[in-house]
């Protein structure tokens, strides 16, 4: 079998199945190095995203203020429309059920109770975005294995961790993925271990592997909001179930003690070591 160059074909999250993906940790393009706890790690290219998000957020706020100035006129129009609607509902033969159905057409989807999770970790960025991260469970992503364009070594798979991601602010927050996937180094396929990087704050025998994030489903609050340049925004107080999947083969006999969720990106932890997000 020809050698992969360099493990590029082993992509754990195929584009067709990943609605809102992002490669996490130190494996994006145009990376820069940083130092944390005496160990060099990598910083993903977040600066341009954050600046674009800041400009868009200011524009959104300006539009809201402009809209607020037109509220008195809009209120009068709404009152008139309401009176007309009442007249229609009370008209004989109009059918009371029809008005009820029309009013519910734009209702927000019902919230879903989040699965049990471990102790949450609150993090934020310099731009004012605030998030809460809580680990749920781990497993092997067989769908990613099936979709892989390269056969994995025997006895390996792509491990994943599911976690809850919450926007804890009263404003929209740029959809960012704070989670990093950390595994026992000895369990990573030998040819991929050079891509498993030590991380200050994590155990010495564990390292961060390249991984991809995807939103699995909405749990609380509204759906993601489209922004400029393909960005997505989390409505205030919303919670989503996110899955982070390794993009290099790992021993498929691993247990929950062999894999862990950490927050290591500098935009979330600054110069501090990576922070552990425990399972339940």
At 76-106, the pLDDT tens digits run: 445 445 544 444 344 444 444 443 344 444 5
Output the pLDDT for position 113: 96
Residue 140 in this model has a pLDDT that exceeds 90: yes
More confident residue, 29 or 136: 136
Residue 197 lies in domain = 15-57+109-277
Output the pLDDT for position 109: 84
Domain-embedded: residue 99: no
Output the pLDDT for position 6: 44
Domain-embedded: residue 196: yes
- In degrees and rounded to multiples of 5, residue 55 shows phi and psi of -65, -40
Output the pLDDT for position 254: 94
Output the pLDDT for position 150: 86
Predicted TM-score (pTM) above 0.85: no
Domain-embedded: residue 264: yes
Domain count along the chain: 1
Domain-embedded: residue 69: no
- Write down the mean pLDDT value for the chain: 78
> Pairing relation of β-strands 211-220 and 239-246?
antiparallel
- What are the C-alpha distances in Å from 191 to residues 105, 248, 249? 54, 9, 9
Domain-embedded: residue 102: no
Q: How far is the C-alpha of 268 from the C-alpha of 53, rounded, in Å?
A: 16
Domain-embedded: residue 149: yes
Output the pLDDT for position 51: 66
Domain-embedded: residue 268: yes
pLDDT tens for 148-192 read: 888 899 999 999 999 999 999 999 999 999 999 999 999 999 999
Confidence of residue 8 (pLDDT cuts 50, 70, 90): very low
Output the pLDDT for position 148: 87
Domain-embedded: residue 91: no
Q: How far is the C-alpha of 131 from the C-alpha of 214, rounded, in Å?
A: 16
How is the chain classified by DSSP, letter by letter?
Answer: -PPPSSSTT--SS-GGG-SS-EEETT-SSS-EEEEETTEEEEE-S-HHHHHHHHHHHHHHHHHHHHHHHTHHHHHHHHHHHHHHHHHHHHSTTS-HHHHHHHHTTTPPPPP-PPPP----EEEE-TTS-EEEEEEEEEEE-HHHHHH-SSPPPTTEE-EEEEEEEEE-SSS-EE----EEEEEEGGGB-GGGGGG-B--TTS-TTEEEPPEEEEEEEEEES---EE-GGG-EEEPTT-EEEEEEEESS-EETT--TTSEEEEE--HHHHTTSPPEEE---
Output the pLDDT for position 106: 59
pLDDT tens for 115-139 read: 999 999 999 999 999 999 999 999 9
Are the CB atoms for 216 and 243 separated by under 8 Å? yes
């Amino acid at each position: 079998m020809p050698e992969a160059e360099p493990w590029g074909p082993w992509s754990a999250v195929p584009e067709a199945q990943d609605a809102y993906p992002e490669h996490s940790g130190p494996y994006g393009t145009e990376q820069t190095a940083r130092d944390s706890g005496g160990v060099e790690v990598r910083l993903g290219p977040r600066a341009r995203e954050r600046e674009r998000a800041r400009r868009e957020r200011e524009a959104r706020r300006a539009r809201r203020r402009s809209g607020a100035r037109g509220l008195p006129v809009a209120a009068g129009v709404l009152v008139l429309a309401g009176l007309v609607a009442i007249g229609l509902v009370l008209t004989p033969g109009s059918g009371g059920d029809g008005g009820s159905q029309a009013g519910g057409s734009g209702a927000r989807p019902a919230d879903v109770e989040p699965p049990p999770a471990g102790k949450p970790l609150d993090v934020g960025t310099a731009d004012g975005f605030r998030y809460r991260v809580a680990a749920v469970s781990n497993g092997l992503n067989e769908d990613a294995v099936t979709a892989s364009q390269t056969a994995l070594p025997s006895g390996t798979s792509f491990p994943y961790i599911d976690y809850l991601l919450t926007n804890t602010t009263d404003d929209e927050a740029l959809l960012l993925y704070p989670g990093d996937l950390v595994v026992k180094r000895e369990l990573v396929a030998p040819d991929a271990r050079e891509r498993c990087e030590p991380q200050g704050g994590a155990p010495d025998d564990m390292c961060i592997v390249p991984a991809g994030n995807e939103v699995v489903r909405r749990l609380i609050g509204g759906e993601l909001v489209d922004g400029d340049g393909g960005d997505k925004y989390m409505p205030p107080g919303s919670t989503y179930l996110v899955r982070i999947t390794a993009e290099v083969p790992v021993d498929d006999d691993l247990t929950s003690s062999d894999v862990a969720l950490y927050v290591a990106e500098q935009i979330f932890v600054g110069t501090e070591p990576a922070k552990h997000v425990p399972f339940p």
